[in-house]
Chain A
Amino acid sequence: MVIAAFRRNTALGSDEQVRVERSSGETAPAIQIAAEVTGLQKIYNPSTPQAFQALKDINLTIRSNEFFTLLGPSGCGKTTLLRILGGFEAMTEGTCRIFGQDVSLLPPEARPVNTVFQQYALFPHMTVRRNIAFGLEMLGRPKSEVASVVDRMLALVSMTDYADRKPDHLSGGQRQRVALARALAPQPKLLLLDEPLSALDLKLRQKMRLELKALQRETGITFIFVTHDQEEALAMSDRVAVLSDGRLQQVGTPEEIYEQPQSRFVADFIGESNLLCATVNRIDGALVEFRLAGLGSVNLNCSEILQVGQEVTLSIRPERIALSAVRGQCGLGPAVIFDRTYLGNAVEYHLRAGEQTLTVRSPRGGLRGLQDFAPGDSVFLAFEPNAPKVLTT
């Protein structure tokens, strides 16, 4: 009965799909909610000595037509969250809605959701064609429809020539495509992807990134994508949720996540950051003076509510710091360079100032021939006032 409920006939990439204006305001009326998780707790082996809480109080809303990524280090709970959405794992507490329907108690076969598994889980005893047809057959679609959809899927992932091969005789990239076609064939409204690129080598991974993103645009299907690779997450997603230790750390667009990290964890995990200990020295309206141990004082525009004497962390990206041999306007320092690493398109300096160490990355070349430094040099640091992010947690 439940299955019948979503035997709908939305064709892939149909024009009826409402295009959602991405990255516009939070409450655009056209936005439909694809998946919604509220008050989710997941505890393995509850009430035993091995009890382990994998997910803590997760509240998450995923919009329709969105490329949404769950990002976090291994063991952070992102795969568990995806498995809960897919129905492979039961929740300890909370509810899970998919397109408005409460699916908390439904088994996987009763959810309007399909999954691309990490190791693809292609059925080894079936050909590519039979693999792709499987979901449609289980839904009881007529043979002619199954055949035409499978052909369309094969074309979509450019696997038509390999339709009669068994998965064992395919390369990693080809298997990945078949897994994708198999999950897309039943025309789910929501596609779950569990680190689908992690089994591929670097070149192929970068190529598949573009393909996946194009596919998502084309089909308009909501993607929930799990990865531990931040580069992947930033490059592909409309929005990213960063998880750590079973907790949701931050949800936002890639730009927000990178430029406006809201916690030490996010700042540290996404890209590289210098996390500097600072004390609030003076507050003058929006202008706050921080004292950095061993580096001197700096004035920053700051919207956070702070108190004089409060200890905070300033997070600043290595490429946002400029070095110079003389103290500039808002110059900090001096710091001593103790290591210089040549990276081809940039040079990375490691600096020590008092007890803190910093990393600074300077582009090579460029219009104004940037000054080069050597280990042992004393340098001053400069950055734009909006470059550091003040973190209180």
Chain B
Amino acid sequence: MTAQAELRSPFRVSKRLAFTGLLLPAVGVITIFMIAPVAIVFVYSFLEPARYGGVVWNFSVEGYLQILFERDFVDGSLQFSADYLVILWRSVFQAAICTVLCLMISVPTAYFIATRSERTKPIWIFLITVPYWVNLLIRTIALLFILRDDGPLNKAIMMTGLTTSPLPLSYNNFAIGLGLVYSFLPFMVLPLYSAFERFDFRLLEAAYDLYASRRVAFFKIVLPVMRPGLIAGSLLVFIPSIGSYLAPDILGGGKTLMIGNLIGTQFQGAHNWPFGAALSMILLTVTLIVLIWMARRSARKNTGY
């Protein structure tokens, strides 16, 4: 009888069953359909492109070189080209701006929600949670709907008489930036809220007792204590912003691309799989480095006490 071995496991499942019967299916599915595909992308990033999608099995770093250089058609020499670098830079820049804006809105909002009464708090949280889960495509369409040249916002502005022609609110970098904020704002508010909720408000009382003004108390006490939460929230916005596809695609009108769209294009129209694979690897590497750094940080913090 294996009963003795099972006694101490929480659901009294034998070790063998736990691994083969319970854990293996989920881990197996992810390994086969997620990890293996990413590995294939890694391999493809070092191959040559076939003419109509797919790859030719010759080793090549052309995919990575293409990010910085353009190959001359005539003599095949490499010439520096900033085209793709601009797109990468735009992705980082847009994501950074988006993160800062989200911080500026989220910190007061999350703090405000955390200091509501137990009765009104759930309502506020529900209000923030709904957009978090509602279809991103539809939310992006909704934003485009009001930003259009003849959309409600432009109409309202023209009605005030400030301008007679519609302002260019859509199909540009401004629209993409706003779209990113609109997409990922809830990603920041919710974790910040749970961080603020753990904040010990007696610290504020102590600060006021020691003659701090409200302003000083907020910047010298609240924000420094909340630092880990602010960093976590920022990453939760920054990471999906960089790789975002829908906001630039729909609000940018296809003109001003970000890396996500550039990758997508390689597999849809442009048929340069190795180049797309190389870009994917770069995006993935950046993301994983940031995530691992964050995990290390929080792990160190937890053991530090």
Task: Name A's B-contacting residues (CB within 8 A).
Answer: 87-90, 105-108, 110
- Chain B residues closer than 8 Å to A105, beta-carbon distance: 1, 3-4
Q: Mark B1-37, 1 if CB is under 8 A from A, else 0.
A: 1011111100010000000000000000000000000
16 sample A-B contacts, Cβ–Cβ < 8 Å, listed by A number: A87-B7, A88-B8, A89-B7, A89-B8, A90-B8, A105-B1, A105-B3, A105-B4, A106-B1, A106-B3, A107-B3, A107-B6, A107-B7, A107-B12, A108-B7, A110-B3
Q: Which residue on B lies nearest to A84, using beta carbons?
A: B7
Bits for B191-235, please: 1 = Cβ < 8 Å to A, else 0: 000000000000000000000000000000000000000000000
- Where chain A touches its partner, the secondary structure class is loop
A residues in contact with B3, CB < 8 Å:
105-107, 110
Kindly list chain A residues whose C-beta atoms are within 8 Å of the C-beta of B5.
90
Contacts of B7 in A (CB 8 A): 87-90, 107-108
Q: How far is the CA of A87 from the CA of B5 in the complex (A)?
A: 11
The residue on A at minimum CB distance from B5 is A90
Chain B residues, Cβ within 8 Å of A89: 7-8
- Chain A: minimal CB distance from B128 (Å): 30
Number of residue pairs A-B, CB distance < 8 angstroms: 20
Contacts of A107 in B (CB 8 A): 3, 6-7, 12
Q: Which residues of A contact B12 (CB under 8 A)?
A: 107
The CA of A79 and the CA of B129, in the complex, are separated in Å by 45
The 4 closest A-B pairs by CB, nearest first: A107-B3, A90-B4, A90-B7, A105-B1
What are the residues of chain B within 8 A of A108 when measuring CB–CB?
7
For the complex with contacts A90-B4, A105-B3, 14 further pairs of A-B residues with Cβ separation under 8 Å are: A87-B7, A88-B7, A88-B8, A89-B7, A89-B8, A90-B5, A90-B8, A105-B1, A106-B1, A106-B3, A107-B3, A107-B6, A107-B7, A107-B12
Bound CA span A87–B6, Å: 11
Closest-by-CB residue of B relative to A90 is B4
| Cβ-closest chain A residue relative to B3 | A107
How far, in Å, is A196 (CB) from chain B's closest CB? 22
**CB proximity of A203 to chain B, nearest CB, Å:** 32
Q: How far is the CA of A87 from the CA of B7 in the complex (A)?
A: 7
Closest to A108 in B: B7
Bound-complex Cα distance A88 to B4 (A): 9
Shortest C-beta distance, B225 to chain A (Å), equals 34
Q: Please encode chain B, from 164 to 206, with 1 for each CB lying within 8 Å of some chain A CB and 0 for all others.
A: 0000000000000000000000000000000000000000000
Beta-carbon nearest neighbor of B1 in chain A:
A105
Interface residues of B in 273-301 (CB under 8 A from A): none
Q: Complex: how many Å from CA A377 to CA B197?
A: 60
User: What's the minimum C-beta distance from B230 to chain A, rounded to whole angstroms?
Assistant: 37
What is the bound-complex CA distance between A88 and B6, given in angstroms? 9
